[in-house]
Chain A
Amino acid sequence: MSDIGPELPDDEALAAEHALGVLTAQERAAAEQRMARDPVFAAEVLAWRARLAPLAEEIAPVAAPAGLWPRIERMLAANDNSQGVRRRLRFWRAATLGSLAVTAASLAAVVFLAARPPEVITQPRPPMGPMMNARLMSDGGQPLFLAAYDPERKSILVASLVPPGADPDHSHELWLIPADGKPRSLGLIDPGASKAMPMSEPMAEMTTEGVSLAVSVEPRGGSRQEGPSGPLAAVGKLARL
């Protein structure tokens, strides 16, 4: 019987439970954050995922809906440059502080706590030029910010899906990365807030389909250098609605 006998030690139990999938949303988020800062714990989780993964072999395949591939294919283009943007932006990061790197990773995890589903922002007025929007995703593919470009008002509307009050020691700064690859700051966005960020005329002209938006984690008040100084929390690309 299994009513007696030793149990897994607490830390490994947590890793195994996270891999098995029995944790609540909040516990899952905490475990993901811990994986980002604790390599030993992360290795335990990966080892348990590997131990349990063969169980999935028992699940019978079910043909995916016919319309799904075309939809995925259309989205590949809008998603294919985030690695390129990350690489290019590394150039702009003169110094990366360890604490900031952890923060960027934990932001992704903490978003699980936000109950709001990622919805496309509703446009306040009918469009004049091309309306565009972007989902800014974390490294792990979690949407952290939603943005829409309003060509009539020449501003970017941005909504933060990061829970309000999260990460009070840092500021989140939104950047426009136009074709020249040089990031331009659009301003700061508080966790959980939505706001319109006005753009200068030259910046509005650079805001064309396919340009990237990124949010970096900065010291309070924003980056003190020309480009982002902290790690990127999320990256996305503007596409026509």
Chain B
Amino acid sequence: MGPPSIATLDPLAELMSQIAAGDRSAMRRLYDATSAKLFGVCLRILSDKDESEDVLQEVYLTIWRRADRYEAERASVMAWISTIARNRAIDRLRARGPLAYAEPVDELQIEDEAPRAEALLEASQDGQALARCLDELDARTQGAIRTAFFEGLTYEALARRLDAPLGTVKSWIRRGLLKLRGCLER
């Protein structure tokens, strides 16, 4: 017997088919279950509450229109909608310019890049595998990949942030991602 499909494990998967059929109460339940997470994702990239709220509104309207595109065998609902939120937030960040990055805002209490112990305990199996593989990279490469992911920086902004030449930062990330893929496939 194969492992249970994501659909049977994912409490949100059923909501997606209801949303695809136009069920607004299902949309409300999805919003209640996920909006804090997605707002966190947007804030992390944009560090601006108003812009994050705008982006979040677009994200849920996109989910509403595109729910029929969700494929349970590819990703969990949370992973799928988090990716939409990240992409929209990065697009918004890019509209500020190629070197733009969010200035950390104290009142938002953004945490640093180190994985939180409690987050790791709550992490999915995939999350634990990814954390283990990231830990196999040297600290500098891991830091660069994490910063790129969490803050949505371009290579150029990342190079400035890390105070390293652009080509060097690209190499770190490309080598790091190759190792990461190898580790995840083991």
Contacts and interface: CB of A to CB of B under 8 A. Distances in A.
Contact of A46 (B74, B111, B122, B179): B74
Contact of A60 (B58, B111, B149, B180): B111
A3 B171 contact: yes
B103 interface: no
B24 interface: yes
A51 B149 contact: no
A8 B182 CA distance: 11
Indicate the size class of the contact surface on chain A: 35 or more
Interface in A146-187: none
Contacts of B153: 21-22
B141 A2 contact: yes
Contact of B130 (A49, A54, A79): A54
A202 interface: no
A7 to B, nearest CB: 4
Interface of A: 1-3, 5-8, 13, 16-17, 20-25, 28, 46, 48-65, 68-69, 71-73, 75-76, 79-80, 82-83, 112, 115, 117, 137, 139-141
Contacts of B83: 49, 53, 56
A62 B177 contact: no
A50 B79 contact: yes
A163 to B, nearest CB: 14
Given A69-B28, A141-B66, A55 B149 contact: yes
Interface of B: 22, 24, 27-28, 31, 35-41, 43-44, 49, 53, 56-58, 60-62, 64-66, 68, 74-75, 78-79, 82-83, 86-87, 90-91, 94-95, 98, 108, 111, 115-116, 119, 122-124, 126-127, 129-131, 137-138, 140-141, 145-146, 148-150, 152-156, 158, 171-181, 184
A16 B138 CA distance: 19
A1 B171 CA distance: 12
A53 B173 contact: no
A1 B139 CA distance: 9
A66 B64 CA distance: 20
A13 B174 CA distance: 6
Given A51-B184, A53-B83, A117-B95, A80 B39 contact: no
A72 B91 contact: no
Given A54-B127, A73-B28, A62 B36 contact: yes
B108 A62 contact: yes
A80 B184 CA distance: 39
